Structure formats: C-alpha cells, structure tokens
Structure 1
Amino acid sequence: MVKNLYLLSNHKATFLAYIEALNTHKPQTSTLDLSNYMHSKLTVNNETYTLSEYETSLLKLMNAAPDFHISLQKLVVEGPTVATRFLVTCTPEKQYMGFPPNGKRIEYAEHVFYRFNGTKCCEISALIDIRAVKSQLGDK
C-alpha cells in the first residue's frame, strides 16, 4: 500500500514537472529534453514514437507559437494513469496544426490520459479540440 501511494504521488509530481518543462521551454533556443518524464519509446494515440519523435512534434507546435502555454484545469491520478484536461493558449506565428496564422491568440482544450510504467510515462491518449483551433485560425 505504501509503495502504491508513493507511485501515485510520484506520477503526479512527474506530470506536473513535465508540464512545467513545457511551459518554461524557450522556443527556438534549445532542444526539448523530456527524458526525465517519458520512456524512450511511447505509444501516442495507438502509434509508436521514439521520445525524440515526440519531442520534435511538441517543438514544432511550440516553435510555431512562442507563447505556447498549458493551464491545467483538471487532474486525476489513479493507479498508473494521470487524467487531465488542460487549456492551451498561444498566438501562432507559423502554420499551426495545419492552419496558417492569423495574428490572433487562440485557446483550445485537450483531454489527455498519461499511463505510467514505473516512474515514467509510456502511453499518451489525447483528444484535442481541433474544431476550436479551426474556428479561431480559420479554414482558408
């Protein structure tokens, strides 16, 4: 029981540190190192990625919108799973999720489940409100 409580608090702490790393990353100035939080191989929405591929996909978003920020709205930890709803806010300066920038600040929700194996995340299931992104950036 004590080990399970430790892992639950550790999963939450690891997840919060991961979000902090994303929010404090300086776009265009450095690489993104998520090795403290993620396994070297990840399953993301049922597809396998290396950690490097996952980091590259996040960097593409963050570099397209240098003010990229995640605000946690809900966080639940149960067993090896961290469930969250967060709000992403940013002002895209380059193509973002397939849409051209329009100079406006956007916000959209993500619902994400992170599954941990040991002390690091090994699986991510994400649902992004792409309709909100599309309605704010427009579909030309």
Structure 2
Amino acid sequence: MNNQTLKDAYTGYIDCLNRQDWAALGDFVGEDVQYNGERVGLAGYRQMLERDFRAIPDLRFVIDLLISEPPHIAARLTFDCTPVGELFDVPVNGKRVQFTENVFYTFAAGRIVNVESVIDKAAVAAQVLKT
C-alpha cells in the first residue's frame, strides 16, 4: 500500500466505525487482529467496539492527527461524548466528557492486523471528579 492508499483505507475504517457498519468491519480489519498485544480476532474486536457503542451511545471517532508510513498508521483520535454508567472505571453516569486516544495500527494485505492503543483515561477522571 502506498501512503495515500493507506490513509484512504484508514479513513474508510473510521467511517465504518462511526456508521456502526459491523458487517463491513472485516473489509478493514484482519481475521487475526491483535489489540494491545492480545490476539482478539475480528469477532472479538467487533464485540469490543459494540460494547463501546453501548456504553457511549453518542460515540464518534474524530481524527485529530494522522501520520502514515506504510504499513503503519499513527493517529490521535478525539472524543466528545456522554457515556452511560462507568467509563474506564470512572462513574461518568451521563456526564459529557472529552478525551483522546493515541493509536498505532499495522496493516497487511490492506487490512488492520495490529492495534496498539493508549487512551487518556486520566482526562476522563479529572473531568468527572472535579468539584
């Protein structure tokens, strides 16, 4: 994949997530995908995302920064949302929060095969717990 093709594949993936088009997820994510060092497979990855959308009904992935160096993508994603219940072990309970995720992807054969994610969980706690 060249640089532009890789970026196009990634933005297509983000669009797929935002549409919650789970039937198309396999077009972007490999069958044996790993997430933070653990093989979760496509089915496990989909289940994780579906859980995220249940916990955060207004979840929307917004690309703030995108760097492409085939076969890798590095992205900073921003979130402005209203989770229900707990988020990252913090009782958010419907409070609007903003946070970021720095995530690194490896692609093979046009699909994501590895994801390394670091979410700014402290930002969520700071917003919810401030008085």
Same fold (TM over 0.5): yes
Q: Among 77, 84, 97, which residue is 1:86 paired with?
A: 77
Look up the SS of the partner of 2:57 in the other structure: coil
Q: Deviations over 1:13-64 (max 9, x none)?
A: 1110111111122xxxxx7231010000111111111111111111111111
Identity rate, percent: 29
Give the paired residue count: 129
CA RMSD of the aligned region, Å?
Answer: 1.8
Give matches, 1:9-20, under 5 Å. Answer: 9-20=4-15
Which SS does the other structure have where 2:114 is aligned? Answer: strand
The AA in structure 1 aligned to 2:128 is L
Are the equivalent residues in 2 in contact too, given 1:65–1:94 (CA < 8 A)? no
Alpha-carbon spacing, 1:54–1:134, altered in 2? closer, same or farther (3 Å): same
When normalised by structure 1's length, the TM-score is: 0.83
The two structures have a TM-score, normalised by structure 2, of 0.89
Stretches of structure 1 that go unaligned for 5 or more consecutive residues are 26-30
Find the partner of 2:68 among 77, 80, 83. 77
1:49 equivalent in alignment to 2:44: no
Partner of 2:90: 99
CA–CA distance in structure 2, aligned partners of residues 69 and 137 of structure 1: 20
- Structure 1 match to 2:22: 32
Amino acid in structure 1 at the alignment position of 2:13 = Y
Structure 2: tracts of 5 or more residues without a match? none
SS in 1 for 2:98: strand
One-letter code aligned to 1:53:
G
